[in-house]
Amino acid sequence: MSRNKMSPFRKDSLVLVAITALIFSQTWRTAMTDEGGMRLPKNVLPVSYDIQLLPIIEEGNFTTPGFVEIVVDCIETTSAISMNSADISIDESSIMISDIASQEPIGVMNLMVEDDRQIITIELDSQLMSGRQYKISMNFVAVLNDELRGFYRSTYEENGETKYLAVTQFSAPDARRSFPCFDEPNMKAVFTIKLGRKLSMSSNSNMPKIKTEPIQGMADYVWDYYQTTVKMSSYLVGMMVSEFTGVPSESELNRVPFTIWTRPSLTNLTKYAGNIAPQILKYFEYFTQIDYPLPKVDIAAIPDFAAGAMENWGHINFREADLLIDEQRSSEVAKQRVAEVTGHELGHMWFGNLVTHDWWSLVWLKEGFARYVQYIGTDSVEPGFQMDEQFGVATLQSVFRVDSLESSRPLDFDVNNSASLNTLFDVVVYDKGASIVRMMANFLGPETFRRSMTRYLHSRAYANAVQDDLWRAVQEQIELDGLVLPATVKTIMDPWTNKMGYPLITVTRNYDGTSGGTISQSRFLLRKSTNSTDSIVYRWWVPLTFTADFSLPQKSIWISDKEDSIPLPDLSATDDEWVLFNVGQVGYYRVSYDDTNYGLILQQLATDHTVISAKNRAQLLDDTLTIARANIVPYEKALDLTKYLALERDYAPWTAATNALDFIDIMLYGYPDFNEWKVYLSDLVVPLYKYVGFDEGTRDTHLFIYTRTHAIHWACTKLEIDDCVQHANQVYASWMTNVITENDISPNLLRLISCSAIANGSDPEWNFGYQKYLASTLANEKIDLLKAMTCTKETDIIYHMLEMMINETSGIRLQDANTLFSSIAANPVGHGVALDFLATRWDEVNAYFSGYVGFGGSSMPGLFRSLCDRVNTNEQLAESTRV
């Protein structure tokens, strides 16, 4: 009996759009549902907080008794005070309100609690008068939860004993789970913090500690008092109570003291972060021309952490995998990840902390800029990483895939309920935000861009910003520098933030000896819905760049948001010369060409592909193969473009190619043509595999190592090339028999070797990998081993792993569960098992993840979304729809 299959290239319309659009549109509907209004009234605004918290870190009593005193300005006369609170028990009898000037108390009539809005309202028996200051105080008890949000608890094992710590994650926005507060980014105040702890523990917060005193009536407990913070948003408050050890940075650049905090057994892994962090901070001080304003930086490695890191001002929290590096056992990928995350979080000290988005709808003003500056910050300490070479394939092309759906969203996008705020922290905010900042920096020029950022930061320091504040500062700098643009920067940039999607630029040349042509723009969609009700006109101000010779300066021209097409009289190319647009892929747009120009490009790639820059070769591959998915160019032409890959040796083109070819590989899997497809891919991959080799060399560059991982991934796990598989299996077998140890295996190949051996093995290989996973104390190594374990082809083992995912005693942390599930879903054998598991045990999985809301929203849509990529049959589509 044959399976009822659909055409493999219809996945875009039936799955990627249908299911992914369903997820995104459901997120939109949830986000836009108004729960009676989630915003606080602005009749009173906070000036200062005095916060006293005593986290009880003991089994059976994970609570935090607290006291808060808030000084507020009364902006409008009112008889009620509303603030945020979630999962906090407030002692209503302790609530006190008083006029600061007269010391007169204000009577409290009632405390109204709206759990769904996460708002409490104190109803008063008399009015607060506009223009006066008041003091609000109360006692409360918060929960020291295990949900990786608010003031929560994390655990680790040390010498066979479970250790606990209390740590904060207040974005976005969860300060309200720790203490009642005005938890909106534009309600800035100063914070004076007092933390209680056992004598055997230590505490940290945003500012330096000034004194320690015993807690009366509690033996072995003390209060730590901290300096008052600068004016900042509540989500930036950071606190930690732990048995961690602090390792001061030994960098000679420490104008500001840096200390890396981690569990005592891992202090030997802090050297790399301690070395690069002060250097990156110093670079950002130069870049912004604004000194870091706090007296210290603490950086903590947290065992359980929802995000990669969190930029609490003066006390930054990281996942262990994103901070701790073993110079011998950590891979180049892990090392770059630590540098990038460090650059990202330190970038927030200016973009986000010093100048904060006015509301979460504008969170791209911090995350988009932080993503952009993480590249230049990393480049400042690790130029060998060639970060600019990576931006296009790692960030721009990544968001292109999401932003080509009708279900995408604008950068400036509001939400109306607290549960959906985390859904804003998505690839659009980070990667599209960074991409349009990069595009703007390019058409402004580096010095005007840098000076405009300094102007922007100075103009809104310790305050909040909306987009127009940014555009205004940039425009002022443009005029000072005498730069000429075709319109104001607001006119140019607003369409990029207020509209979803991006343009496809179509280049049609004349070939009549005039060197001219026509340039047109239209919104690029993978599939256009026939019943769309979207009435927005999708046109942009596009800074076009083009060249026919990369040894010469590029040409540039603009197409406006009022123009569908423009004539271009001179492309600076003869009829037998190719032309390429979007030089360096700096612009946020795709490009399509007429048949003749495509033919000229193909000839050049076959003759000498290096004449075209590596970044533009990557762009050609990604643009053309993606445009083919939308049926704008034939797939035959797009695949003709890939033939030259047998000659390609550079990282960026191969990254773009493997991302695009992986889609075709998935769509053809299980079909009669799949073996022929593997032969074609082998002809492309084997030359690269032979060029880079299986074994590393002492002179291998960073991106050469990255390229080798591409080659081995495809040669070993995708195409099962004998030489690659035998190499991997031999190394793993030697490891299993103690001929070698993990220290003898390149950390850059550990995951790939283990994946291949486990895929081609059975229970012994998997069990060995699992035991190594449990035994490893190096977080980034554990992630590599966890991913390798999911390569098994044994369905019973795969099912067992899925059960481990929802078992808190399995050794798999909650923060890593999505990695486990998505890796299984990407496994051709594991995909069906994962789909069935989610369908049959949805309630159980949902209950396990119910309290965990990480960046990007709740876990369940993320788990489901990871299943969509491998759906290529009607049966799978029906099952996915049923889920």
Instruction: Provide DSSP, 171-198.
Output: TTTTGGGTS-B--STT--BEEEEEEEEE
Q: Give the pLDDT confidence score for residue 842 in this predicted structure.
A: 87
Q: Do 3 and 873 touch, CB atoms closer than 8 A?
A: yes
Given a cut of 60, whether residue 843 has pLDDT beyond it is: yes
* pLDDT average, residue stretch 264-280: 97
How distant, in Å, are the alpha carbons of 140, 305, 321, 557 from that of 180? Answer: 9, 23, 32, 54
Which segments of 460-530 does DSSP mark as H helices, in order? 467-481, 489-498
Bigger pLDDT: 173 vs 336? 336
Which uninterrupted H or E stretch holds 523? strand 517-523
Report the C-alpha gap between 410 and 420 in whole angstroms: 16
Report the C-alpha gap between 705 and 748 in whole angstroms: 8
Query: DSSP letters along 258-298, please?
Result: EEEEE-GGGGGG-HHHHHHHHHHHHHHHHHHT----SS-EE
Q: Give the pLDDT confidence score for residue 859 in this predicted structure.
A: 67
Given a cut of 60, whether residue 396 has pLDDT beyond it is: yes
* Cα three-residue angle 210-140-261, rounded to 5 degrees: 40
* pLDDT average, residue stretch 299-309: 94
Residue 292 burial (CB < 10 Å; 0-12/13-18/19+)? buried
Residues 6+ apart with CB under 8 A from 791: 717, 754, 755, 756, 758, 759, 827
* Cα three-residue angle 768-774-776, rounded to 5 degrees: 100
Bigger pLDDT: 856 vs 334? 334
Q: Give the pLDDT confidence score for residue 845 in this predicted structure.
A: 87
Read off the pLDDT band of 20 (50, 70, 90).
very low
Model confidence over 143-195: pLDDT tens digits?
999 999 999 999 999 999 999 999 999 998 899 999 999 999 999 999 999 99
Q: Give the pLDDT confidence score for residue 36 in this predicted structure.
A: 53
Q: Is 93 left (phi over 0), alpha (psi -120 to 50) or beta?
A: alpha
Q: Give the pLDDT confidence score for residue 127 in this predicted structure.
A: 97
Model confidence over 618-673: pLDDT tens digits?
999 999 999 999 999 999 999 999 999 999 999 999 999 999 999 999 999 999 99
Question: Which among 616, 590, 655, 613 is positioned nearest to 393, based on CA atoms?
Answer: 655
Give me the chain's average pLDDT, please: 92
Both tokens assigned to 857: 């929203």
Q: Which residue has the tokens 């800074």?
A: 543
Report the C-alpha gap between 335 and 247 in whole angstroms: 19
Report the C-alpha gap between 700 and 703 in whole angstroms: 8
Q: Which of 320, 345, 382, 389 is catalytic?
A: 345
- Per-residue b or e along 401-429, where b marks 16 or more CB atoms closer than 10 Å to that residue's CB: bbbbbbbbbbbbbebbbbbbbbbbbbbbb
800 is in an annotated binding site: no
Q: Do 544 and 520 touch, CB atoms closer than 8 A?
A: no
Report the C-alpha gap between 390 and 150 in whole angstroms: 35
How distant, in Å, are the alpha carbons of 338, 554, 655, 702 from that of 384? Answer: 15, 26, 18, 7
Read off the pLDDT band of 282 (50, 70, 90).
very high
Report the C-alpha gap between 267 and 284 in whole angstroms: 27
Q: Is 295 left (phi over 0), alpha (psi -120 to 50) or beta?
A: alpha
Q: CATH 2.60.40.1910 in the chain, residues? A: 503-606
Read off the pLDDT band of 4 (50, 70, 90).
very low
Q: At what angle do helices 446-459 and 467-481 cross, to 10 degrees?
A: 130
Residues 6+ apart with CB under 8 A from 305: 148, 154, 167, 169, 317, 318, 319, 320, 815
Q: Give the pLDDT confidence score for residue 866 in this predicted structure.
A: 83
Q: Give the pLDDT confidence score for residue 12 in this predicted structure.
A: 42
794 is in an annotated binding site: no
Q: Do 704 and 685 touch, CB atoms closer than 8 A?
A: no
Given a cut of 90, whether residue 874 has pLDDT beyond it is: no
Report the range of poorest mean pLDDT among 25-34, 203-212, 460-469.
Answer: 25-34
Please write down the HEC assignment for all residues of 819-844.
Answer: HHHHHHHHCHHHHHHHHHHHHHCHHH
Q: Is 131 left (phi over 0), alpha (psi -120 to 50) or beta?
A: left
* pLDDT average, residue stretch 709-716: 97
* pLDDT average, residue stretch 757-783: 96
Report the C-alpha gap between 94 and 77 in whole angstroms: 24
Bigger pLDDT: 72 vs 17? 72
Any catalytic annotation for residue 345?
A: yes
Given a cut of 70, whether residue 847 has pLDDT beyond it is: yes
How distant, in Å, are the alpha carbons of 118, 324, 689, 781, 785 from that of 758? Answer: 48, 27, 21, 16, 11
Q: CATH 1.10.390.10 in the chain, residues? A: 355-498
Question: Which among 803, 796, 779, 720 is positioned nearest to 755, based on CA atoms?
Answer: 720
* pLDDT average, residue stretch 679-688: 97
Report the range of poorest mean pLDDT among 458-467, 483-492, 839-848.
Answer: 839-848
How distant, in Å, are the alpha carbons of 331, 746, 876 from that of 754? Answer: 14, 12, 29
Question: Which among 777, 796, 862, 852 is positioned nearest to 823, based on CA atoms?
Answer: 862
Read off the pLDDT band of 7 (50, 70, 90).
very low
Read off the pTM. 0.94
702 is in an annotated binding site: no
Model confidence over 415-472: pLDDT tens digits?
777 667 777 888 999 999 999 999 999 999 999 999 999 999 999 999 999 999 999 9
Residues 6+ apart with CB under 8 A from 309: 316, 317, 318, 319, 322, 323, 341, 344, 345
Report the C-alpha gap between 468 and 739 in whole angstroms: 64
Given a cut of 90, whether residue 32 has pLDDT beyond it is: no
> Is the CATH code 2.60.40.1910 the one for domain 503-606?
yes
Report the C-alpha gap between 183 and 196 in whole angstroms: 23
Report the C-alpha gap between 154 and 248 in whole angstroms: 23
* pLDDT average, residue stretch 708-712: 97
Q: Give the pLDDT confidence score for residue 613 in this predicted structure.
A: 98
Q: Do 100 and 71 touch, CB atoms closer than 8 A?
A: yes
Question: Which among 405, 371, 411 is positioned nearest to 391, based on CA atoms?
Answer: 371
Report the C-alpha gap between 181 and 242 in whole angstroms: 25
Report the C-alpha gap between 635 and 627 in whole angstroms: 9
Both tokens assigned to 415: 């939400």
* pLDDT average, residue stretch 700-708: 98
Bigger pLDDT: 529 vs 254? 529
Model confidence over 536-561: pLDDT tens digits?
999 999 999 999 999 999 999 999 99
- Return the DSSP state at 785: H
Given a cut of 80, whether residue 11 has pLDDT beyond it is: no
Both tokens assigned to 438: 């990069």
> Is the CATH code 1.20.1730.10 the one for domain 355-498?
no
* pLDDT average, residue stretch 600-605: 98
Model confidence over 848-872: pLDDT tens digits?
877 665 544 456 777 878 888 888 8
Residue 444: phi and psi, rounded to 5, are -80, -30
Q: Give the pLDDT confidence score for residue 1 in this predicted structure.
A: 32
Is residue 773 helix, strand or coil? helix
- Return the DSSP state at 661: H
Model confidence over 256-267: pLDDT tens digits?
999 999 999 999
Cα dihedral sign for 448, 450, 453, 457? Answer: negative
Q: Give the pLDDT confidence score for residue 854 in this predicted structure.
A: 54
How distant, in Å, are the alpha carbons of 286, 565, 578, 604, 640 from that of 599? Answer: 47, 23, 8, 9, 10
Query: DSSP letters along 213-264, please?
Result: EEPTT-TTEEEEEEPPPPSB-GGG--EEEES-EEEE---TT-SS-EEEEE-G
Which uninterrupted H or E stretch holds 361? none
Q: What percent of the chain has pLDDT over 70?
A: 94
Question: Which among 361, 353, 347 is positioned nearest to 423, based on CA atoms?
Answer: 361
Radius of gyration of the chain (CA): 28
Report the C-alpha gap between 290 and 346 in whole angstroms: 13
Q: Give the pLDDT confidence score for residue 858 in this predicted structure.
A: 58
